[in-house]
Each structure stands twice: as C-alpha cells, then as structure tokens.
Structure 1
Amino acid sequence: TEIEVRSLDDENKSEYVEGYALKFERWSERLGWFKEIISRGALDEADMSNVIALFNHKIDYPLARNTVSTGAGSLQLTVDAIGLKFRFEPTDTTYGQDLMKNLRAGVINQCSFSFSLDHSG
C-alpha cells in the first residue's frame, strides 16, 4: 500500500512514515504467481506485542519497534475498518536516512508486510 512522509509539529521537525501495512478485503498486487486478500478478522487473535518495522524485510535493518513508546525507533499500530495502520519514526541510521530520502523523492512509495505462524499448537 502507499505510504507517506509527514512531519511532527515539534522543535526538531521530526519526520515519520505513515500508511497501511495491509488493507482488509482488497486484492493485493500480483505477488509473483499469486495474489492475496486479507479477511477483516484476520488480526483478531494475532500477537502484535513485538512488531518490528524493517527495511526490505531484512531483520538486520530495523527501523522501529512497537515496544519503543515514543521518539526515534517508535512504531504505533492501529487496526481500524480499513486495515492495519502504522506510523513510525525511523532511527537515525544510514539506511533510515536513505529510506526517508527515497520516500521524499517518491522513489519508494509503497510497503509490504510479513508474518510468521505459531507452530506450538
């Protein structure tokens, strides 16, 4: 889905990224040889207690985490009627700065999500 860069009204002119990680009841773009649609109740029992925003799904490029409450590295998640909305302020890393530059230039304008399944029972 499309994402945007926005600025906070604070002294530091902090920027954050906002968008929807997923939208309910809408077909995705073609993902190789398949497309997907996410049901409205798909997140009802999801464990979102430790969610990480990553650059290009790479665990070694963390941008933010929902266990960080405010400031750089913070990630807020909200499930609403549209889907899973996110807002994060990336950490001041080289790849975080690169992401923000590419977002402002329009080179990057979408995001995707991933998840893992609980195999314990």
Structure 2
Amino acid sequence: MNKEVRHLTTKIELRSAGEGGEKRHFIEGYALKFEKWSEPLGGWFKEIISRNALDSTDLSNVVALFNHRQDYPLARNTVSEDVGRLELETDAIGLKFRFIPTDTSYAKDLMV
C-alpha cells in the first residue's frame, strides 16, 4: 500500500470556543482546496485538485501530524474524545479540518 504525504500550504487558524474554564482552543483550516492552483510543491510544480478527487478516497483513518512526523500526532479522526479528535468535512471549497490538539509540548508550540 502506498502512503501519500501532503504538505499543508494554506493558512490555518487558531480559534477559541467557550467561556472561562470551559474555553477550548482548536485549529482549523483546509487540508486541500478544489479547483485552485496549489503553492509550488517540492519547489518545482503546482497542482489543481478536482472537485471529485475525494469521491473514492478512504478517509476512515486520517492523522494530523506535526511537521509530517509520524511520532508527533496532533489528532486523528478515529478518536472519540474532544482532545485529539480530528473532524473532517468536504464542502464546496475543499477538505476542511478542525481539531483540539493532543496535550503535548509540540502541540503547545504549534499553537503559540
């Protein structure tokens, strides 16, 4: 089985929800955008992703990683608790993600 690693080049946002002690910080953005030229990938090529590119894609076990390192997971869509749960949604723009990262030093560094 081939594993595809994608580099996120779109802006991500750190947001907050809730009040006081219930306030939670989460990260959201788009993992990919449809019908739009990407930033240069690998320093030399660009791509456009078709609107139907995800139609037969298995998104049942997706992991958000810090700097694409397998040993630095931030969230996964198979996690049921709030912390560490990756939410994915395909909309008219592309593949949107949202997660409250794991309680790790590298996740805290990312949020800073």
Confirm or deny a common fold (TM above 0.5): yes
CA distance in structure 2 between the aligned counterparts of 1:98 and 1:39, rounded to whole angstroms: 34
Q: Bigger CA drift: 10-19 or 70-79?
A: 10-19
Secondary structure of the 1:56 match is helix
1:34 to 42, 45, 53: 45
Q: Distance in 1 between matches of 2:64 and 2:17?
A: 19
| TM-score in terms of structure 2 length | 0.86
1:1-121 mapped onto 2 (5 Å cutoff): 1-10=10-19, 11-31=21-41, 32-101=43-112
User: How big is the alpha-carbon RMSD for the aligned residues of Structure 1 and Structure 2?
Assistant: 1.0
Could you tell me how far 1:46 is from its partner in structure 2?
0.4
Count of paired positions: 101
Identity of aligned residues (%): 68
> 1:26, 1:82 → 2: CA distance?
9
Where relative contact order (Cα < 8 A, 6+ residues apart) is larger, the structure is 1
